[in-house]
Amino acid sequence: MSALLQAQGLVVAHDTVRALDNVGLTLAAGELLGVLGPNGSGKSTLLRVLLGAQRPDAGTVNLEGVPVTALPSRTRARTMTMVAPARAPDFALTVRDVVGLGRIPHEGFLGSPRPGDTEAIARALAQTDTGHLADRAIATLSSGELQRVHLARAFAQEARVLLLDEPTANLDPLHQLTAMRLLRSFVERGGAAIVVLHDLTLAARTCERLLVLERGRVRAEGPAKSALDEALLADVFGVRARIDRDAQGRIEHVLSIEPAQTQGGVP
């Protein structure tokens, strides 16, 4: 499979600290890649660099074989979009307005609407179970509702590549599962997605591959069932954990039991 998105040798430095240190990845159509790591490991920085919103100090990002920073912003937005942690805008908009922002890259001459915009917005609202919120002011939503609205905006944009930074944050268990099933359906239709998650079980059960970051470096990468083990969780995440697997070795559950003990017995 040819890569839709490919990154090589990414370095982002802040003074003497490297937020990313020689990070690379590939993403093909039909793939859902989970990015894991403790706080401060470079996950959000990686997504911004992949999107072209932040230039790396070294390394390259290609979108369909073209350097992402060389693409016009409108062209890039038609192919790739990002869902960041939800924050209500400071101006008055309805939910339908916010979801409609996803159609901006497809607008015609002088910003005129295009055929299919209304249908795309309605479809995205239905997919994310936010249709009943369509006429609500965005500022009146709960954090979980707001997260689903931003996911709807991404679906309305109809990009081929989705970059999602903790899209299940603030969602109840039902909507967490629904969001991940929507992403699985999206990639099965030929899209591709990279999702940052903190829920290790959810990541292992829904993503084909996992990329584990620690202090800006790749500590593990590969199929979900082999990328995680108890030793890695103790070393990278600082927890003693138990991983339950099925008869085929696929991860069914990751249970964090207690802080891992470091030398001298201090967690």
- List, in order, residues 6 or more apart from 235 with CB less than 8 Å away: 219, 260
- pLDDT at position 260, please? 81
Please tell me whether residues 86 and 164 are part of one structural domain.
Answer: yes
* CATH number of the domain to which 216 belongs: 3.40.50.300
Residue 45 has pLDDT above 50, yes or no: yes
By C-alpha distance, which of 36, 26, 7, 10 is closest to 239?
A: 36
Residue 3 has pLDDT above 90, yes or no: no
CA 86 to CA 107: how far, in whole Å? Answer: 24
Q: Could you tell me which residue, 264 or 256, shows the higher pLDDT?
A: 256
Helix (H) or strand (E) holding 161: strand 161-165
Q: What is the tally of helices (H) and strands (E) in the chain?
A: 9, 12
By C-alpha distance, which of 195, 134, 133, 207 is closest to 169?
A: 195
Please tell me whether residues 263 and 168 are part of one structural domain.
Answer: no
Number of structural domains the chain divides into: 2
- pLDDT at position 112, please? 60
∠158-30-193 over CA atoms, to 5°? Answer: 55
Give the model confidence (pLDDT) of 179-237 as tens digits: 899 899 999 999 999 999 999 999 999 999 999 999 999 999 999 889 999 999 999 99
- pLDDT at position 114, please? 72
Please tell me whether residues 15 and 46 are part of one structural domain.
Answer: yes
Q: Is residue 175 part of a domain?
A: yes
Structure tokens at 95: 């939910």
- DSSP character at residue 216: T
Please tell me whether residues 81 and 184 are part of one structural domain.
Answer: yes
- pLDDT at position 104, please? 87
CA 183 to CA 207: how far, in whole Å? Answer: 10
Structure tokens at 156: 């309305």
Please tell me whether residues 211 and 239 are part of one structural domain.
Answer: no
Q: Is residue 116 part of a domain?
A: no
Mean pLDDT score, 31-43: 96
- pLDDT at position 2, please? 74
Q: Could you tell me which residue, 262 or 3, shows the higher pLDDT?
A: 3
Please tell me whether residues 32 and 79 are part of one structural domain.
Answer: yes
- pLDDT at position 143, please? 86
Side-chain-facing half-sphere of 173: CA atoms under 13 Å = 1
Give the model confidence (pLDDT) of 86-130 as tens digits: 676 667 899 999 999 998 888 765 456 677 889 999 999 998 999
- pLDDT at position 90, please? 63
What's the pLDDT band for 78 if we cut at 50, 70, 90? confident
Please tell me whether residues 164 and 245 are part of one structural domain.
Answer: no
Please tell me whether residues 195 and 175 are part of one structural domain.
Answer: yes
**Share above pLDDT 70 across residues of the chain, in percent, rounded to a whole number:** 93
Please tell me whether residues 234 and 266 are part of one structural domain.
Answer: yes
Q: Is residue 24 part of a domain?
A: yes
- pLDDT at position 257, please? 81
Q: Is residue 28 part of a domain?
A: yes
What rounded mean pLDDT belongs to the chain? 89
What's the pLDDT band for 239 if we cut at 50, 70, 90? very high
Q: Is residue 102 part of a domain?
A: no
Residue 263 has pLDDT above 50, yes or no: no
Please tell me whether residues 224 and 234 are part of one structural domain.
Answer: no
- pLDDT at position 170, please? 83
Q: Is residue 188 part of a domain?
A: yes
Task: Please check whether residue 177 is in contact with residue 20, taking contact to mean a CB–CB distance below 8 angstroms.
Answer: no
- pLDDT at position 267, please? 42
**Share above pLDDT 90 across residues of the chain, in percent, rounded to a whole number:** 64
Task: Please check whether residue 109 is in contact with residue 123, taking contact to mean a CB–CB distance below 8 angstroms.
Answer: no
Please tell me whether residues 172 and 217 are part of one structural domain.
Answer: yes
Q: Burial code of 3-13, b = ≥16 C-beta within 10 A, e = fewer?
A: bbbbbeebbbe
Please tell me whether residues 16 and 84 are part of one structural domain.
Answer: yes
Q: Is residue 18 part of a domain?
A: yes
Domain carrying residue 8: 3-90+159-228
Q: Is residue 83 part of a domain?
A: yes
Q: Could you tell me which residue, 235 or 74, shows the higher pLDDT?
A: 235
**CA distances in angstroms from 235 to 35, 43, 65, 197, 259, listed in the order given:** 17, 18, 36, 18, 11
Residue 265 has pLDDT above 60, yes or no: no
